[in-house]
Amino acid sequence: MPTANANHIRIAYEIFGDSSSPAVLLIAGLGAQLPCWNTDFCEALADRGFYVIRYDNRDVGLSTKIEGLTLNELMNKIGAFFMGQEPPVPYGIEDMAGDGAGLLDALGIDTAHIAGMSMGGFIAQALCLRHPSCALSLTSIYSHTGKGQAFRPADKVMEALLAPVPEDRNGYMEYMTRFFKLIYGTGLPFDEDFHRNLAGRYFDRCFCKEGIVRQYLAILSQKDRTAELSGLNIPALVIHGDDDPLVPPAGGKATAAAIPGSVLKIIPGMGHVQPNLNAYWSDILDEMVGHMRLRRPAGS
């Protein structure tokens, strides 16, 4: 697995396609590792004429872990946020956006289409705002503008998020499969084998629950980007399912409303679904390709 020195840490990544094609940077969500962007999906993007980069965010997978606080100290900070306080956190969404921009720089890529799902959507928005010279377009999937209290998960999802995560492989796979099903939505049958295998791959690559908590603190500490997004001057595609219990559809609608000229795609029956080229993600692939072809680098 190749790694790059980006933003003063090591980032693990994989690439698909021809390096002379327009680049697409795919950013994963909370606790998700680069396999969350399914290989079939990445290859399909590459076949459509794009140079695809997927990577492990800091604190998961094979990228650098930001150590320094115990799990109890991290959990106390989460409790403080729920009490209305704003404790210091190890890093923020903007730092993670710097990782993505740093990875592009390390790979010698001047500009790219930026796409993220869930927390990855927050990072993608921040990357486009903080590093506008490298962003050709934005695709924000299952995300919101950072105004977290306005877009809280359903109670049953929040309870599952805060539940202890088993530390053995089988227990972890069971936990994650149940969680994936909880947030999946009702429009299509749930593929249990696919999700169980994805959870197993996560566990085998790296199990670091402290890293996931640190990422969650970055989410809790993020600021409202609504005002800044109103000045975003690149094509933006916002995708959301109307049956998403983790990030409610209002979050996607608020994102689209904040960005001038953005396109909002609401998918009936879809919840918070992992990419696997089912009917949902085949549709999303088509939407993304059409969106990104509207804005190609000069000379391409």
pLDDT over 80 (residue 253): yes
Q: List, for residues 48-99, the tens digit of each pLDDT value.
A: 999 999 999 999 999 999 999 999 999 999 999 999 999 999 999 999 999 9
pLDDT over 70 (residue 11): yes
- Measure the CA–CA gap between 248 and 230, rounded to whole angstroms: 21
Q: What is the pTM of this model?
A: 0.96
- State mean pLDDT over 216-220: 96
pLDDT of residue 145: 97
Residue 146 gets the label, from left (phi > 0), alpha (psi -120 to 50) or beta, of left
Q: List, for residues 134-176, the tens digit of each pLDDT value.
A: 999 999 999 999 987 789 999 999 999 888 899 999 999 999 9
> Beta partners for 115?
26, 139
8 Å CB contact between 245 and 152: no
pLDDT of residue 134: 95
pLDDT of residue 149: 78
Q: Which domains does the chain have, with CATH numbers?
A: 3-152+210-293 (3.40.50.1820)
- State mean pLDDT over 122-130: 98
pLDDT of residue 276: 84
